[in-house]
Amino acid sequence: MNKASRLFCPALITPKNAVVKQSEQLSRSQKLLTELGLVKSGSNGTYQIMPVAQRSVDKLIDLVQRNMQQAGGQKITLPILTPTGLWKKTGRLEGDISEFYMVRDRSGKQFLMSPTHEEAVTAMLATTSPISYRQLPLRLYQIGPKFRDELKTRFGLMRAKEFLMKDMYSFDVSEETARETYSTVSAAYDRLFKQLEVPFVKVNAATGIMGGSVSHEYHYVSPVGEDTLLQCSSCGYAGNSEVLEGQTVSPASCPSCKSLDLREVRGVEVAHTFLLGDKYSKPLGATFLNTSGKPQPLVMGCYGIGITRIIAASLEVLSTEQELHWPRLLAPYDVCLIGPKQGSKEQPAAELIENELLLNVGELCGHQELLHDDRKELTIGKRLLEAKRLGHPLTIVVGAKAVQQDSPKLEVHLSKGEKLELDLSEALKLVSEHSQYKNSLLNGSFHRDEEESRSQSVGHQL
């Protein structure tokens, strides 16, 4: 069982009247995560993730993997170090590589600390014994650290020099089947972002340094976003302003329906998909044997999700200035149980109820999803304040009202600030309903459809 007294959660204590010098720009999520001891700064642009936040990261990884496997993905692990010679073959070494880390081994050979792995995975297939068309499509993904020498790190995990990312690479026999793969993986992305229940927008995007013919970005709308998005209120079309300004149609009108009702919002990019064609397979010699037994270049796609960026950006969108609010599937714990204070007159009777709850709540939501705040030397009020700031979906308090003779009640606090007074069976029913709703999200039963989610997201922020 998870006990609050055993948690390593090094909260940031700032003395009263202290003058705090900020080395970088803070966002709401970064401030809360740091103050509450969920994330610590390692150095400029790098972050140490503490146990409570790591639970959220692990839950997101599990959710991403579930969706990637449903899309036919197979998990691999590629080396972080990629020989620069591969990037030279594809021409990307001649582009703007100022954000990339380069290292040399003792023999002088140069490597990239990979910001992405298109060259590496394509070279892997190029050196594999002949691949038959019968083995395709092939969808390979990994989850691991990526590196970018950001000129200006800010907003904590949203713009860091080292970050956690899921990257998938697909290989097909033709442009047609590659587009089918693109649709399949895009549908998995849409499903993932609906499961997270954070309003998002999916926009047409520039292919940039990655290349290819088709590209889409997934954004959370937030004032701290670095991308400017244009959203049409008439038809729901959304696009990155860079793309719209590069087209013949004036960005003052919607490219889809020609409506003039375009609104400008800021977006945090949390995922990106590309249809790459043979941009990498041709120069690196990655081929398959077609039905005639002749070698033919593989047709590729790539699909990225910022794991740590989603954590930070979702908290940025959902939280208040004082309290974290997590996506339901990513909350570190489902339930926090707070028992009576040590030495209080209600302690003996209340602890009987507390122990019964520990057993029953754990069985309903899973014992690993229950946090027992056993620090009874602290007042209920102090523990409750901390629980609210940490954003637990349900916090159950076993206090004086739980042992009153006429109508014993438990205090149940919801993450959005609502307070309920329930008897034992009602509280357990609420826990059960919460767990059932989580399962419905995992199984693909969503509260609202995608278009409604997108339109509400932009409308809510404007």
Could you report the per-residue pLDDT of 34-86, keeping only the tens digit for each? Answer: 999 999 988 888 999 999 999 999 999 999 999 999 999 999 999 999 999 99
Judge contact between 299 and 178, C-beta under 8 A.
yes
Confidence check: pLDDT of 457 > 80:
no
255-314 residue pLDDT tens = 888 888 888 889 999 999 999 999 999 999 999 999 999 999 999 999 999 999 999 999
Distance CA 44, CA 40 (A): 11
Confidence check: pLDDT of 159 > 90:
no
Least confident of 52-61, 210-219, 327-336: 210-219
- The structural domains of the chain, with segments of one domain joined by +, span 2-49, 53-318, 335-442
> Residue 206's pLDDT band (boundaries 50, 70, 90)?
confident
> Residue 382's pLDDT band (boundaries 50, 70, 90)?
very high
**pLDDT given at position 235:** 84
**pLDDT given at position 452:** 42
Other Cβ atoms within 10 Å of 142 Cβ, number: 17
Confidence check: pLDDT of 388 > 60:
yes
**pLDDT given at position 260:** 86
For residue 101, list its beta bridge partners: 113
Looking at the chain, how many residues does it have? Answer: 462
Per-residue pLDDT averaged across 227-240, rounded? 84
Q: Which residues contact 296 (CB under 8 A, 6 or more apart)?
A: 173, 287, 288, 289, 290
Residue appearing with tokens 């916090």: 395
* Ramachandran assignment for 216, one of left (phi > 0), alpha (psi -120 to 50 degrees), beta (any other): beta
> Could you tell me the pTM of the whole model?
0.90
Confidence check: pLDDT of 330 > 50:
yes
**pLDDT given at position 211:** 60
Q: Is 335-442 a domain of CATH 3.40.50.800?
A: yes
3.30.930.10, 1.10.3470.10, 3.10.350.10, 3.30.1330.90: CATH of 53-318: 3.30.930.10
Helices 307-318, 28-35: crossing angle, 10 deg rounding: 100
Judge contact between 126 and 285, C-beta under 8 A.
yes
